[in-house]
């Protein structure tokens, strides 16, 4: 048990605390004298206070407290001698991102594998709020798209999204939500479409050509702020002749990331299992992407490469030299715009042509 007195006046703070165990009764007179002595100290401090002291502080010299505490003041500390109001720093405004993440967590999101399913307008609205005001270097948003035919006149089943600051994967169910996935506004007034079209919010894809064509053709979305890892990888090659052909994401993962033999074998086996889901000879097909609810195997496969995108971005970004960063940016914009042209079909150029690099 303890007894304490706190005295505060302006910047002067005097704290006297007497701890006792079973001796309070014996020294009751001493405590009363100390109480009167401390009260006299308080009176002296109050009398010497600057005339610029606030009215609220002057009110605190009495025994009874004010009906309301002044702004920027905390709880009243009452002891046997007097009371004071304890100034506290102004609390910073609530972090909108933390609030948005908390609001999203309060929703009942179905978890499949290592991903959360976003398949209601309310969920996409709250998710959109969590994507605002995130760090931009390195980028916070990494995306890929799955569907039976990722093309202007095709279909999109899922958008896979990795949010780097929270290290969370989301599967946005386009097959279920349709256009509402892009047009539903969150509490802060922004839509997922506005995120995709915002040049100030960097978004990382691997080969943006088909996603740009499909998003523009199916939902009139004009992508901006895109980082294309396929082009970044091409630009980091040292010899000019080595830039003739583009690499796929599988080669980038196995060649440029330091995966151990065991980890690489597990990744290859998981990739092979996932690919069999789409092969007719194994009883599968691309239509498995449109089966609802989304299955564990589908969720695992479509996010298999997603987790490697941040590491690939960091690896290539550190190796872009000279004027290559600008050349990559310009070619990325050209790729995006090519997919947005009216009548521009994905695959208009032959598959062989699409395998060639632009430089």
User: Mind listing the pLDDT tens digit for each residue in 155-201?
Assistant: 999 999 999 999 999 999 999 999 999 999 999 999 999 999 999 99
Share of the chain above pLDDT 70, in %: 69
pLDDT at 351: 56
d(CA 46, CA 61): 7
**Residue 49 and residue 197 in one domain:** no
Last residue of some domain: 46, 64, 87?
87
Q: What 3-state class would DSSP assign to 317?
A: helix
pLDDT at 37: 54
CATH number of the domain encompassing residue 314? 3.30.420.10
Instruction: Tell which wins on pLDDT, 242 or 268.
Output: 268
In the predicted structure, residue 235 carries a pLDDT above the cut 60? yes
Nearest Cα residue to 161 out of 188, 182, 187, 185: 182
Q: pTM for this structure?
A: 0.71
Domain assignment present for residue 273? The answer is yes
d(CA 344, CA 91): 54
Give how many domains the chain has, as a whole number: 2
In the predicted structure, residue 13 carries a pLDDT above the cut 90? no
The 10 Å Cβ neighbour count of residue 268 is: 14
The 10 Å Cβ neighbour count of residue 164 is: 17
pLDDT band at 4 (very low <50, low <70, confident <90, very high): very low
Please answer whether residues 286 and 341 qualify as being in contact, where contact means their C-beta atoms are separated by less than 8 angstroms: no
Share of the chain above pLDDT 90, in %: 58
**Residue 28 and residue 127 in one domain:** no
Measured at the alpha carbon of residue 170, what is the angle toward residues 168 and 171, in degrees to the nearest 5? 155
**Residue 174 and residue 246 in one domain:** yes
Q: Which domain holds residue 327?
A: 96-354
Token readout for 341 is: 């042209």
Last residue of some domain: 87, 118, 151?
87
**Residue 70 and residue 133 in one domain:** no
**Residue 67 and residue 182 in one domain:** no
Please answer whether residues 77 and 132 qualify as being in contact, where contact means their C-beta atoms are separated by less than 8 angstroms: no
Domain assignment present for residue 11? The answer is yes
**Residue 113 and residue 188 in one domain:** yes
Last residue of some domain: 62, 87, 112?
87
């Amino acid at each position: 048990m303890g007894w304490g007195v706190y005295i505060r006046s302006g910047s002067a703070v005097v704290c006297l605390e007497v701890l006792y165990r079973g001796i309070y009764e014996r020294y009751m007179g001493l405590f009363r004298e100390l109480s009167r002595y401390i009260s006299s100290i308080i009176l002296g401090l109050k009398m010497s206070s600057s005339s610029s002291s606030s009215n609220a502080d002057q009110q605190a010299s009495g025994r009874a407290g004010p009906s309301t505490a002044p702004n920027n003041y905390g709880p009243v500390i009452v002891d046997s001698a007097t009371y004071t109001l304890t100034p506290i720093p102004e609390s910073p405004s609530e972090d909108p991102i933390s609030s948005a993440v908390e609001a999203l967590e309060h929703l009942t999101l179905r978890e499949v594998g290592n991903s959360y399913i976003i398949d209601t307008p309310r969920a996409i609205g709250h998710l959109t709020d969590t994507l605002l005001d995130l760090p931009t270097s390195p980028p916070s948003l990494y995306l890929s798209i799955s569907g039976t035919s990722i093309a202007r006149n095709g279909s999109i089943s899922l958008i896979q999204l990795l949010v780097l600051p929270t290290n969370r994967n989301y599967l946005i169910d386009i097959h279920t939500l349709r256009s509402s996935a892009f047009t539903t506004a969150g509490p802060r007034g922004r839509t997922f479409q506005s995120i995709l079209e915002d040049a100030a919010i960097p978004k990382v894809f691997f080969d943006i050509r088909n996603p740009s064509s499909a998003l523009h053709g199916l939902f009139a979305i004009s992508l901006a702020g895109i980082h294309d890892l396929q082009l970044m990888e091409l630009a980091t090659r040292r010899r000019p002749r080595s830039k003739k052909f583009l690499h796929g994401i599988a080669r980038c993962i196995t060649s440029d990331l330091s995966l151990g033999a065991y980890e690489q074998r597990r990744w290859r086996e998981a990739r092979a299992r996932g690919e069999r889901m789409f092969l007719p000879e194994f009883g599968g097909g691309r239509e498995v992407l449109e089966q609802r609810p989304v299955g564990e195997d589908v969720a695992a496969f479509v996010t298999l490469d997603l987790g490697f995108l941040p590491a690939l971005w960091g690896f290539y970004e550190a190796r872009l030299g000279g004027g290559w960063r600008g050349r990559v940016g310009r070619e990325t914009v050209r790729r995006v715009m090519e997919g947005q042209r009216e009548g521009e079909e994905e695959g208009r150029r032959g598959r062989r042509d699409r395998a060639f690099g632009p430089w």
